[in-house]
A and B are shown apart, each in its own frame.
Chain A
Amino acid sequence: MKGLEQYKESAAQIRKLMTSVLIIFMLAVTVLVYLLIDPTLTAFSSETTDGDYETTSDITDEDYDKIEDGIHLRTGFVEGDGLMLVVNNCTNCHSAKLVTQNRMSKERWTATIRWMQETQNLWDLGGNEEPIINYLATHYAPTQKGRRQNLSNFEWYDLEE
Chain B
Amino acid sequence: MNKTDALIIGAGPTGLFTAHQLKLIGLNCEIVDNLDKIGGQCIELYPDKPIYDIPAVPECTGEELTNNLINQIKPFDIKIHLSERVDEVKKEGNNWIVKTNNDKKFSTPNVIIAGGVGSFEPRKFPVKECEKFENNSLFYSIRDKKIFEGKTVSIFGGGDSALDWAVELSKNSKVNLVHRRDDFRGAQATVDKVNELAKEGKINLYTKYQMSSIEGDDHVKSIDIKNDNNETKNLKTDYVLGFFGLIMQLGPIANWGLNIDKKTIEVDTEKFETNQKGIYAVGDICNYPGKLKLILSGFHEGALAARACFKLARPNEKYRFEFTTSSKTIKERLGVKGD
A binds B: no
